[in-house]
Amino acid sequence: MNNEIRSISNKMHERGLSSDKQEFGSFYLLRFLGAKINFEPNQCIVSLESVPPMFNPQGTLHGGIITTIMDISMGHLIKNEQSAGTTLELKVNFMSAIKHEKIKCVGSFLKKGRTISTLDSKLFREDGKLAAYATSTWKIL
């Protein structure tokens, strides 16, 4: 591991441990990733900077991190608009590689249900290009 990656990784870990809060909008993984949550009508926007410790061996943002960010955007939207929920099913299409850049993920409803809701999430690169698209089914708790 080179010094740059080690330094960034240490900062990520310290940021994650900066609080004991484990609640919507502020939990370890959000802090670790440096993600920010914002809400607009019927949307949850997650923004962050992709950095080398998040990359796969090919030097692009790891698909598991992309999927996690998309799940967070939909889960926070469910909580904000309905109630806490849990992912029943999640499908992700990866469309474009993400390098070291600022990214934005927008979660929105396809259908709000009383007990089951369907959402989608779009992840955009800094240049505005769609990098990933997800659909998901959620159980309202």
Which one of 3.40.50.300, 3.90.470.10, 3.10.129.10, 3.30.1600.10 gives the CATH number of domain 36-140? 3.10.129.10
Give the rounded distance of the alpha carbon of 35 from its chain centre: 8
Task: Please state the pTM of the whole predicted model.
Answer: 0.90
Q: Which amino acid is at 38?
A: N
User: What is the tens place of the pLDDT at every residue in 14-59?
Assistant: 777 788 877 777 788 899 899 999 999 999 999 999 999 999 999 9
Over pLDDT 70: what percentage of the chain?
99
Residue 78: both structure tokens together: 């469910």
Supply the DSSP string of 8-51, one letter for each residue: HHHHHHHHHTT----BTTB-HHHHHHT-EEEEETTEEEEEEE--
